[in-house]
Amino acid sequence: MDIEGHEPIALQGLSRLIDRCRPVLLVEFNPRCLLIQHQDPLGSLKQIFAFYPRVRVLTAFGDDEMIDGAENVLSYWERRERELTAQNLLPQGALHFDLLTVR
């Protein structure tokens, strides 16, 4: 699911299905797009972790980390954002994660 910051709204609409079936999801986490849509990045992560105990974080930069907890994902994003910006690999705020849910 990559819908430019509208992921929390879609997840809310899917909540009964997710609760009942626990499908594996691939959801973009892009704080910049979330903020443009007036969505809280941490709240968006908490929404995912309400159903799943951990996620696999993937990026185009080779990141492949298993992480539990919304706060831990946000901390990891903040650290990687600083690192990639300092290396001039991305402009500030452009990092996004692909989150693969793990049952």
Q: What are the boundaries of each domain within the chain? A: 7-102
Instruction: Name residues whose C-beta falls within 8 Å of residue 80's C-beta, 6 or more positions apart in sequence.
Output: 59, 61, 63, 95
Instruction: Name residues whose C-beta falls within 8 Å of residue 36's C-beta, 6 or more positions apart in sequence.
Output: 4, 5
Q: Quote the pLDDT of residue 89.
A: 96
Nearest to 47 by CA among 9, 93, 83: 9
Exposure class string for 22-32: b at 16+ Cβ within 10 A, else e: eeebebbbbbe
- Checking if the pLDDT of 2 tops 90, the result is no
- Checking if the pLDDT of 10 tops 90, the result is yes
Per-residue pLDDT tens digits for 43-66: 999 999 999 999 999 999 999 999
